[in-house]
């Protein structure tokens, strides 16, 4: 704060005295209210996009900013070489993931099983970006995908509601495919190796974020499990016991968070 000298006046004895002394407390209170009010308004605008408020101006700007991120934002910002998962593991354990492969950006042809491709068709496919990570022990591998769609906010909201209403994110016949990169720990990570997965249809950006996890040794999985189920306390399946649900959900959450943060940064830049 900048403090200015107070103008002088005179009292009954002709002694100088600052003018406005009686209003100092009111002025301070007014300044505090102005600062707080401005902060609340600014926070509301920024938060409306982050929280998925599709009616706020921040949401509209964020949605527009995210449309071109697949070619405007470096891959290292969408899929960082290393991601920290503080408290992301079973029992709140920390996780560190290292990126071992990035797929060439492409369309969606051949990237999804037929049924999932049909479900996603209403929002279109602008571009698909994928990266595969491994955990610190190199025993697990996880592919994270960012599907940038051609849809507007209404179409994304409609698809998200369908996923929620029909619980499509929990159907094993709608699991995303992994990206198996030759010469890496994920070389044997194919459709039969999928153990857990998560799919998130965003309504504040034209994007679908997903992740699918498995073991790095190429073992097949007879009963894949949604990450949400595999993360439940007391879950006894092999994917749950290995913490693979936490791998899929933890990585998907952080990539999604990074996407939203970057889109928010774009909208806050001066025009």
What is the residue-averaged pLDDT of the chain? 81
Q: Under a CB-based contact definition with an 8 Å cutoff, are residues 53 and 260 in contact?
A: no
Query: What would the mean pLDDT of 160-168 be, rounded to a whole number?
Result: 97
Considering 10-24, 60-74, 141-155, the range whose residues carry the highest mean pLDDT is: 141-155
pLDDT band at 145 (very low <50, low <70, confident <90, very high): very high
* pLDDT at 180 (0 to 100): 95
* pLDDT at 62 (0 to 100): 73
* pLDDT at 201 (0 to 100): 97
- Answer yes or no: is pLDDT of 15 > 50: no
Q: Residue 25 has what DSSP assignment?
A: H
Q: Which residue has the higher pLDDT, 144 or 47?
A: 144
Query: What would the mean pLDDT of 39-68 be, rounded to a whole number?
Result: 53
- Give the CA distances from residue 181 to residues 147, 162, 220, 264, in Å, rounded to whole numbers and listed in that order: 19, 32, 17, 32
- Of 230, 267, 261, which is closest to residue 245 (Cα–Cα)? 230
Dihedral angle of Cα 215, 221, 225, 230, to the nearest 10 degrees:
-40
* pLDDT at 28 (0 to 100): 44
Contacts of 128-131 spanning 24+ positions with Cβ under 8 A = 129/70, 129/75, 129/78, 129/79, 129/103, 129/105, 130/102, 130/103, 130/179, 131/75, 131/79, 131/99, 131/101, 131/102, 131/103, 131/179
Q: Which residue has the higher pLDDT, 261 or 172?
A: 172
* pLDDT at 12 (0 to 100): 39
pLDDT band at 262 (very low <50, low <70, confident <90, very high): confident
E-assigned strand segments in the chain: 8-10, 16-18, 82-85, 95-102, 127-135, 140-148, 196-201, 207-215, 225-226
* pLDDT at 60 (0 to 100): 64
C-alpha 215: how far from chain center: 24
Query: What would the mean pLDDT of 110-121 be, rounded to a whole number?
Result: 96
Whole-model pTM? 0.76
Q: What is the pLDDT of residues 189-219, one digit of tens each?
A: 999 999 999 999 999 999 999 999 999 999 9
Q: Residue 181 has what DSSP assignment?
A: -
Q: Cβ-count burial of 210 within 10 angstroms (0-12 exposed, 13-18 middle, 19+ buried)? A: buried
């Amino acid at each position: 704060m900048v403090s200015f000298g107070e103008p002088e006046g005179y009292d009954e004895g002709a002694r100088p005295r600052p003018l406005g002394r009686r209003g100092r407390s009111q002025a301070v209170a007014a300044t505090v209210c102005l600062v707080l009010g401005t902060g609340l308004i600014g926070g509301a605008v920024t938060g409306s996009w982050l929280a998925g408020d599709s009616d706020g101006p921040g949401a509209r700007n964020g949605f527009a900013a995210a449309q071109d991120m697949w070619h405007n934002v470096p891959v290292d910002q969408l899929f960082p070489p290393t991601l920290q998962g503080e408290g992301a593991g079973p029992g709140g354990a920390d996780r560190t993931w290292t990126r071992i492969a990035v797929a060439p950006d492409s369309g969606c042809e051949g990237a999804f099983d037929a049924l999932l491709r049909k479900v996603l068709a209403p929002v279109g496919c602008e571009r698909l970006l994928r990266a595969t990570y491994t955990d610190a022990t190199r025993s697990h591998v996880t592919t994270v995908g960012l599907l940038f769609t051609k849809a507007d906010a209404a179409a994304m909201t409609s698809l998200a509601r369908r996923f929620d209403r029909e619980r499509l994110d929990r159907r094993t016949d709608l699991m995303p495919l992994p990206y198996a990169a030759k010469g890496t720990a994920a070389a044997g990570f194919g459709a039969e190796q999928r153990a857990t997965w998560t799919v998130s249809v965003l309504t504040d950006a034209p994007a679908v974020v997903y992740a699918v996890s498995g073991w790095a040794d190429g073992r097949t999985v007879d009963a894949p499990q949604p990450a949400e189920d595999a993360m439940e306390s007391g879950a006894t399946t092999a994917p749950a016991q290995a913490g693979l649900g936490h791998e899929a959900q933890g990585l998907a959450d952080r990539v999604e968070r990074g996407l939203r943060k970057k889109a928010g940064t774009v909208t806050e830049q001066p025009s």
